[in-house]
Amino acid sequence: MLEQLEPKSVFSYFEKICSIPHGSGNIQGISNYLVGFAKERNLEYIQDEVYNVIIKKEASKGYENKEPVILQGHMDMVAVKKPGCSINLLTDPLDVRTKGDFIYAEGTSLGGDDGIAVAYALALLDSKDIPHPPLEVIITVEEEVGMEGALAIDLSSLKGKRMLNIDSEKEGELTVSCAGGVRVNGILPVQWENIPEEFYGVEITLTGLMGGHSGVEIHKNRGNANILMGKVLKELSEKVHVVLTALEGGTKDNAIPREAKATVFFPKSELENCEKIVKAIEKKLKEAHEETDRELRILYQEVKKQPEQKALEETSMEKLIKLLSTVPNGVQSMSQKLEGLVETSLNLGIMLLKEEEFSTAFSLRSSVVSQKEALRDKITDILDSVGGTYSFSGDYPAWEYKEESPLRDTFIKVYEGMYGKKPTVLSVHAGLECGILAGKIKDLDSVSFGPDMENIHTTEEKLLISSTKRVWEFLLALLKAL
C-alpha cells in the first residue's frame, strides 16, 4: 500500500512494522525483527532481557571524528480496535491504507506513535549514502504502559551525549521538557449474591465518545466513558432497585476511554421506568458534552439471565459506585509558569469487574513532583475509604528544561535555514522517555520532534504523508549539521 510514497525507504519500513503485531505487552516479534535487521547488515546490537534494542552504526565517510548522535523511539503501540473489527491485534497485521495525504489503519489504531520513529531509524541504519555522525539507536519497549523499557535499559555502552527523541506529533514543534507520571492500580474486593428470580436484565453501553491520548488531549475535556458510566449507575441506582452483574470500560490507562458497558438487573415492573431514566441521563450527558463528544449515546439492550449468574451484593455495589463518583478525573491544575500548559491531570483509563474484585487503572501526570504525590495520595485515600487496595507502576520523572542546550540551538538554526522561521519550542503534558534516559546518561542533551499525527491512541489515528517526508528531510539536514 505504501510503496509508491516518498521517502520510499521510510514508508517501506513503516509498512513492515505495521505487518508485525506490536501492541504493548506483545513486543517480542518486533524486537526480534530489529535484531534480525541488525544482523543482516553486520551492525552492532544489544537486545536485553525485556526486549529493548540498541543498534549502532559507524559514521559515514568524513564524519568519523564527530560526536555520536543518539536516535530514540519506542517499538510498542497502543493497539485498539473498533467494535466489530475482526483483526486480532495479537496475531494479525494492521490493514494499512491511504486517503489523500493520510495513512491510517482500517478498524484499528495505526501505531504511528511510535512506529514512524522506528521507520526513520531503520532507513538511516540501512542507508549507504546519507552523511551522518556515529549513530546509536535506542528503541525501547512498553513506553505506552509506563515507560518500563526506558526504566530497565542499560545505556552504559553508549558514548553519545546528544539525543533526538522522535516521539512528538506536530511538525514544527520542538519539545524540550515534559511531565512525569505514574500508574495507580486500584483493587476493590467484591462479594456476590443471587439475582432475584423476577428480575429483568439489560446491557447499558455508553459509546460514541471521542477518546484520545490522556496527555496530548486531556485539556480538551472530552468525556471519559468510565467516569460517565459511574454517573449513569449512581443516578439509576438512586431511582430504581438495580443490581450489577458486569462492568467494564477502556483498554489502556493512558487512553481516554471511549466506551463502557454495564449489565444490570431490576424488577420487571420497572422496565419502562428504567429505560426512561436512562434516556433522561443520556440527554443530560449529550447536553453536557455537546461540544466535545457529539456522537455520545447510550444503547439499551435486553439480556437473558445465565445459569448460576450472580450480582454484586448491595455493599459492594455501593462502594464501587462511590469510587467512580468521587475519584477526580481530567485536568486538575494548569501551569502558572507556562500559559496553556496542563500541570497535573488524571485519567481513569481501565475498569473491569472480575470474579473477586473491581480493578481500576489510573494514569497520573504532573510536571510538579509535589502535585503528583498529592494527587496520588488523594486517589489512594479514596480507595482506602471504600476498602480498596492499591499499587504503583511505571513511575517516571519529569524531563526538566535545560537553560543551555547546544542541541536545541542547532535544531533551531537548521530549522530556520530550511523554513525561514523558528520552530515552536514548548513543554508538553504527555510523558516522554527523555527524563528517564537523562538519569542514565550524564549531561545528556535531548530534544523531541516528529511529523504530524492526529488522534493517536485511537482508531481514528492518522499519519500525514507530506509531513513525514518533510521531517525526514529535516532529520537528514540536522544529522549533517551535527
- Kindly report, residue by residue over 132-189, the tens digit of the pLDDT: 999 999 999 999 888 999 999 999 999 999 999 999 999 999 999 999 999 999 999 9
Q: pLDDT at position 339, please?
A: 81
- The model's confidence at residue 220, banded by pLDDT at 50, 70 and 90, is very high
Kindly state the percentage of the chain with pLDDT values over 70. Answer: 100
- Give the rounded distance of the alpha carbon of 162 from its chain centre: 26
In this structure, the strands spanning 212-213 and 255-256 are antiparallel
Contact 120, 71 (CB under 8 A): yes
**pLDDT tens digit string along 242-270?**
999 999 999 888 889 999 999 999 998 99
Question: What is the torsional sign of CA 16, 18, 19, 20?
Answer: positive
Contact 392, 185 (CB under 8 A): yes
Q: How far apart are CA 96 and CA 102, in angstroms?
A: 11
C-alpha cell at 406: 547546544
Kindly state the average pLDDT of the residues 435-444: 94
Amino acid at 331: V
> What architecture does CATH give domain 182-396?
2-Layer Sandwich (3.30)
Domain with CATH 3.30.70.360 in the chain: 182-396
Q: How far apart are CA 239 and CA 179, in angstroms?
A: 42
For the chain, state the CA radius of gyration.
Answer: 24
| CA atoms within 13 A of residue 35's CA, in its CB half-sphere | 12
Q: pLDDT at position 1, please?
A: 79
Kindly state the average pLDDT of the residues 211-240: 94
Kindly state the average pLDDT of the residues 278-307: 95
pLDDT surpassing 80 at residue 203? yes
Annotated catalytic residues are 76, 143
- The model's confidence at residue 340, banded by pLDDT at 50, 70 and 90, is confident
Amino acid at 250: G
Instruction: For 388-421, give the secondary structure using H, E and C.
Output: CEEEEEEEECCECCCCCCHHHHHHHHHHHHHHCC
Query: Which residue from 293, 291, 264 is spatially nearest to 277, judged by alpha carbons?
Result: 264
Contact 208, 241 (CB under 8 A): no
In this structure, the strands spanning 342-353 and 357-366 are antiparallel
Burial class of residue 162, CB neighbours in 10 A (0-12, 13-18, 19+): buried
Please, which residues have CB within 8 angstroms of residue 426's CB and are 6 or more apart in sequence? 173, 174, 175, 176, 338, 341
**pLDDT tens digit string along 55-105?**
999 999 999 999 999 999 999 999 999 989 999 999 999 999 999 999 999
Q: pLDDT at position 281, please?
A: 96
Contact 216, 430 (CB under 8 A): yes
| CA atoms within 13 A of residue 355's CA, in its CB half-sphere | 1
Instruction: For 280-328, give the secondary structure using H, E and C.
Output: HHHHHHHHHCCCCCCCCEEEEEEECCCCCCEEECHHHHHHHHHHHHHCC
**pLDDT tens digit string along 114-148?**
999 999 999 999 999 999 999 999 999 999 888 99
pLDDT surpassing 90 at residue 33? yes
- Please give the mean pLDDT across all residues of the chain: 95
Amino acid at 302: E
- DSSP letter string, 325-346: HHS--EEEEE-SSSTT-EEEEE
Q: How far apart are CA 10 and CA 15, in angstroms?
A: 9
CA end-to-end span of the chain? 34
Q: pLDDT at position 145, please?
A: 85
pLDDT surpassing 80 at residue 337? no
Please give the model's pTM, rounded to 2 decimal places. 0.78
Chain position carrying cell 499499587? 391
Q: pLDDT at position 254, please?
A: 87
pLDDT surpassing 80 at residue 439? yes
Amino acid at 51: Y
> What architecture does CATH give domain 8-179+398-481?
3-Layer(aba) Sandwich (3.40)
Kindly state the average pLDDT of the residues 18-40: 98
Query: Which residue from 377, 236, 202, 237 is spatially nearest to 315, judged by alpha carbons?
Result: 237
| CA atoms within 13 A of residue 252's CA, in its CB half-sphere | 27
- Give the rounded distance of the alpha carbon of 373 from its chain centre: 21
CA dist list (Å): 174 to 261, 396, 406: 40, 21, 14
Domain with CATH 3.40.630.10 in the chain: 8-179+398-481
Query: Which residue from 27, 9, 40, 2 is spatially nearest to 122, judged by alpha carbons?
Result: 9
Query: Which residue from 170, 460, 195, 179 is spatially nearest to 317, judged by alpha carbons?
Result: 195
C-alpha cell at 217: 488531549
Question: Residue 73's beta-bridge partner residues?
Answer: 139
